[in-house]
Chain A
Amino acid sequence: MNDRRHRRMTGMTTTTTPCLLEAERVTCAVPQAASAEHAAPSTSRHASFRWPWKRGAAPKSADQSGQSDQSDRMTGSAQSASGTKTIFHDLSFTVRGGDVVDLIGPSGSGKSTLLTTLAQLNPHATATMRLDGTDAGGMTPERWRRLVAYLPQRPTLIGETVRDAILLPFTLKVHQKDDQGNPVNEPAPGEDTIRRTLDRVGCGDIELDRSPQDLSVGQQARVCMLRTLLTRPRVMLADEVDAGLDDENADKVGEILAYAAGEGMAIIRVRHRPADGRATRTWRLADGALTELEAHEAHRHEQADRAAMDAEGKGDQL
């Protein structure tokens, strides 16, 4: 396991920037009544029939009073009525190009939340971040997300064909204009490139003209991963890409991510599988604290977390 990792690391080119992503004061606090708020409009449907013309005026949750209260929540300050739950607080870390970081921790510890925070996708989280020395505030959130790409756990493909689904990112403005509005040269990958990368992750049987809805969930997950990889982000935040894959295909996914890391990308993976030996670092997120583990520790913690999850009945999807 270890020797394979070393082999990859020694083969790595040394042209990458040493410090790719720096993050400080990474904090996330969510309002606790979040789940109850969703139920509010539907429960009021059968409320008393006093004002029939106010059919749509179902009592709305407290936090819908517009944009003004948002800044409060985004900075994590406590909400008066419902209170907040701190997922993690004041984390700091750096990631270098070529890193493959495995993020482990008990289920519910906020691993996915940490990934969405790094991609600036989480409205309840704040962080001070720099990418290649550029402050996060120095670019649009879209530019940041194009460079620090979050790959959601749930595969979502849109378009008539697999080809359309994979080329979707290149139809977006962020791949056509830079933040100043000047055209950028980011050509969409050609047919050959798409075919070759699909073959490499065990999707050789997927024709590009097929409808993405016909694919199995495992195939969809891999197509989603390729869609993000082909946009060449600087950092890839992969949220359980290999869930639901058999060992062989999970290994192919690990391999292509490791290859991308060898090209200078940084990868942070959330996985619910035994370590595949491709991670160069392991972080453990538990009780709101993030710790970097030594290799031998990592293995032990990871096994304990997985055992706990199996006991809860939400074991990894093997």
Chain B
Amino acid sequence: MSDLTANTGVYPIDLWGLAITVALVAVSAGLSWIMRLGVERRMLWATMRSLAQLLAMGYVIKYVILWNNPWICFALIAVMILAAIQITLTRASNIPKGLAPQVLLTLAVCVVLQISVVIELIVRPHPWYAPAVLVTMTGMLLGNVVAATAVAMSRFFSDMKARRYEVEMMLALGATPFEAAKPSISASVKMGMIPTISQLASSGIVLIPGMMAGQVIAGADPIMAGKYQFVVLAVISALTLIADSLIMILVYRTSFTDRDQYRADL
């Protein structure tokens, strides 16, 4: 824990730094307003929100690390999962209501897999629940999984709507809901995986991912930072694919009635 606190302030960011950052965002938002791009208010709001959330998270993680108690650590992870559900459901546009349990199950499976496999088998921190590893890794995983499942879900339901006649034709020929939904399912999983896979493939060439950059800036060995980054990226990609597939299996049935009819009213 001592070297963790030592790492945090190699090139500290002071209040001015934050102010300049916000000013830059304001300039870009002003540009968007002049060009009538229509993203300025959302951009400003997202910036303020992320500043508040990241600072809050920083304090929370700091205290969780100080506390060094597994129960508090897992309570924090539970809160993160709950927030991730809410963000997934609002970010996925045009999806039917009532999908929170499916999202919860998907996120929970991912987090459990990540904690059991990655953290305890690959990183092996001491103590086993080391909040610095657990909370940050879970945060990175959830961020990716939330983005991917939200994209996949909204793509699925809009694709099912666009394929309405195809779906009805296939059902009329005796296709099961899964058979009728399958083209939409695979298109949606692919769509949700595009950013993750391209990030994985381009990392290190044109892109130094945030975690590696952060570790290097904070003075860590770049080789070690690279290894960490690879493990994190590859594992997150794998878990994201699992999450995408799982959420599709859990939600595709929503487009059909329990007598295997297509629900055009969704």
Listed in ascending order, the chain A residues whose CB lies under 8 Å from chain B are 31, 34, 37-38, 41, 49, 52-58, 60-61, 63-67, 70, 74, 119-123, 140-143, 145-146, 149-152, 154, 156, 158, 168-169, 172-175, 224, 227-228, 231
Contacts and interface: CB of A to CB of B under 8 A. Distances in A.
Interface stretch (B122-130, B174-182, B210-218, B225-233): B174-182
Contacts, number: 120
Contacts of B89: 56-57
B114 interface: no
Nearest to A34: B265
Contacts of A123: 257, 259, 261-264
Contact of A64 (B97, B150, B166, B174): B97
B72 interface: no
Given A56-B90, A56-B93, A152-B169, A142 B258 contact: no
Contact of B97 (A60, A156, A175): A60
Q: Which of B91, B169, B173, B179 has the most CB of A within 10 A?
A: B173
A66 B261 contact: no
Contacts of A54: 90
A227 B172 CA distance: 12
A173 B179 contact: yes
Nearest to A145: B174
Nearest to B253: A67
B173 A145 contact: yes
A188 to B, nearest CB: 13
Given A56-B90, A169-B174, A66 B45 contact: no
Interface of B: 41-42, 45-46, 49, 89-98, 150, 154, 165-166, 168-176, 179, 257-266
Contact of B91 (A41, A55, A154): A55
14 contacts: A38-B265, A56-B93, A61-B265, A66-B97, A119-B172, A123-B259, A145-B173, A149-B173, A151-B172, A158-B166, A168-B173, A172-B173, A174-B174, A175-B174
B172 A55 contact: no
A218 B64 CA distance: 69
Contact of B169 (A49, A140, A156, A174): A156
A146 B172 CA distance: 7
A121 B168 contact: yes
Contact of B257 (A74, A140, A143, A227): A74
A61 B263 CA distance: 14
Given A34-B265, A70-B257, A121-B168, A142 B93 contact: no
A56 B266 CA distance: 15
A64 B154 contact: no
